[in-house]
Structure 1
Amino acid sequence: MLDVHRLRLLRELDRLGTLAAVAKALNYSPSAISQQLSVLEAETGARLLEHVGRGVRLTAQARILVRHAEVILERMELAEAELAASMTDVTGTLRVASFQSVMLALVPGALSRLSAEHPGLRVEITQAEAGPAFAGLLARDFDVVLGECYPGVPEPALPGVDEEDLLEDELRMVIPTGGPWHRAKLTDLAEAPFVFDPGDTITGRWARQICRSAGFEPDVRFQSPDLLLQLRLVETGHAVAFVPDLLWTGRTPGDLELRHLPGRPRRRLYTGVRSGSAEQPAIRAFRAALQLTARV
């Protein structure tokens, strides 16, 4: 009988591409991964890996196993979810990856609800951007990921991920009150300094495209994914930023001006879990707590 753990290693090699990447993701040594895959070759009686330069690639037989491994791993999670659902209490540890604005606005309220309703559930949360977070989800480092989708920047659906919409969040321009850009429209800000997320991120690309659509290339003097730092630079009169409305949950803009962007763009926020784990009681409880908090 084939060993499920070794099948998972083969599946991770197909997903990540190198033995070193698999070893890093799963906290093994590359030699240990190689040894386990050699055992899998012996179990199957088929050659699974071909050496190419200093690396390896999967054979056609290995890709057959990978397709079945996906199904097997999903069915195992479904079995675990059904077993957990048959029990009365929601317990265990739930590992969540979230980005900053959701952690600031929604996660504390959701944790309070969960603490009151399911005191036996331990929730561990890591701040992470969507790309690394979803890679961690598929590698089983996380159980739930908070994702976002920006208008005009479509993201293909990830195979094996169950998505559930959370809310739509308007994105606005925020400018210092009383400075040279007081009451300015976006088209008036060709000479203004901006603070955006780095240009190699989805949010950074989206922000720059908004300015280009308004007819100018933005003067991006500051780059940071930290929304609180972005706000601080605006508050002190050094920059203009584009921020989500969710950031104002539990706080007020103060001395900042919030102005609508052309077309009033909104980002889509959602939760993502592995398809086989969507019915896990802990995941259902966390999603429900987030939904209730988002509606308040």
Structure 2
Amino acid sequence: MFDSRHIKTFHQVVLSGSYSAAARVLGYTQPAITQQMKALERDVGTPLFVRVGRGLRLTEAGEALARHAAVILSDLSAAEQQMGALTRLRAGRVRVCGFPSANVSLIPEALARLAAGHPGIRVELLESEPPESLHRVVSGECDITLAFTYPGLHEQVPDALVEIPLLEDQLTVLLPTRHPLARRRAVKLADLAGERWIAGCLRCRANLLHECAEQGFAPDVAFSTDDNLVVQSMVAEGLGVAMTPALILGFLCHRKVTGRPLQPQSRRQISAYVLREHLRVPATALVLDELKAVSANKVGC
């Protein structure tokens, strides 16, 4: 393995034509140049120069190394510049995986903040529901994933992941605006025991079944979809009611649908998950900071 310092010195000796001239350019003493060239020749295993009068001539091995030296030094310089850009947050790429309601609420605002302060950092956005999204971090498909958990359900998180809590998201019920309970400020789950339900993803459906069981009834699940716009449309047409997180109320756009908080309150925990070593990557750490800042400003969730 060659020492890059020795390659740089060798390149300058070739350009300058002598050890003494290279020493003047590099600010070294001539003995220091001589020692570096001897060390490089030991690494190569053969002489690189021969004396010709008062000057130097490259050996065949020296000529071969000289052809590569400029390329090696150019690549090293480019690598140093790129590493500097990454560590000083002028460049970088972070792959973020979010679940649907996070991808339309938390993540866009965080990316806007990131773009304003660090336009050179690029974010690739992916979408998966937990637990699949957690395994995508472990498998290397993404650098950060956002996922949610419910307090009443025991869910296993891979040991390799570090959890960064972001916020607690209150659960609400979506009702048609003409529904008798839509006039209440909050709705008891037990009051909806006779309704047909529109369930969400597998994790959300499991929580719906769990919470209804806690209230002494089994919900009549008529439809299941993880598309929030589809849920709104179905509720608007009176096909059922739905339990949904408050996070989506900010983009609740159907005029025939209203959201009401549950009483007593029920919440889910939203967290970011990363591999521990990714916490030391500057761009990844910055994206996490922006997600935490946006989450802290989510009032009422």
Q: How does the TM-score come out when normalised to structure 2?
A: 0.65
C-alpha contact 1:105 1:246 (8 A) present in aligned 2: yes
User: Residue 131 of structure 2: SS of its match in structure 1?
Assistant: helix
Unpaired runs of 5+ residues, structure 1, are: 1-82
* Cα 1:108/1:285, change in 2 over 3 Å: same
TM superposition shift of 1:105: 0.6
Q: How does 1:194-273 map to 2 (within 5 A)?
A: 194-198=197-201, 201-249=202-250, 254-273=255-274
TM superposition shift of 1:247: 0.6
Q: For the residues of structure 2 that align with 1:86 and 1:256, how far apart are their CA atoms?
A: 46
Query: What's the % identity of the aligned pairs?
Result: 30
Unpaired runs of 5+ residues, structure 2, are: 1-82
Aligned to 2:5: none
Deviations 1:200-223 (CA, angstroms, capped at 9, x unpaired): x22111011222222221111111
C-alpha contact 2:161 2:276 (8 A) present in aligned 1: yes
Q: For the residues of structure 2 that align with 1:290 and 1:204, how far apart are their CA atoms?
A: 26
Q: Does 1:131 align with 2:131?
A: yes
C-alpha contact 1:146 1:271 (8 A) present in aligned 2: yes
User: Residue 87 of structure 2: SS of its match in structure 1?
Assistant: coil
C-alpha contact 1:85 1:281 (8 A) present in aligned 2: no
TM superposition shift of 1:85: 9.6
Deviations 1:100-140 (CA, angstroms, capped at 9, x unpaired): 11111111111111111111111001110122221111111
Q: How does 1:1-296 map to 2 (within 5 A)?
A: 87-179=87-179, 182=182, 183=184, 185-198=188-201, 201-249=202-250, 254-296=255-297
Aligned to 1:5: none
Q: For the residues of structure 2 that align with 1:163 and 1:126, how far apart are their CA atoms?
A: 19
User: Residue 260 of structure 2: SS of its match in structure 1?
Assistant: strand
TM superposition shift of 1:257: 3.6
Q: Which moved more, 1:207-216 or 1:263-272?
A: 207-216
Q: For the residues of structure 2 that align with 1:251 and 1:262, how far apart are their CA atoms?
A: 20
TM superposition shift of 1:185: 3.9
Q: Which moved more, 1:127-136 or 1:251-260?
A: 251-260
* Cα 1:86/1:106, change in 2 over 3 Å: closer
C-alpha contact 2:172 2:246 (8 A) present in aligned 1: yes
Larger Rg over CA atoms: 2
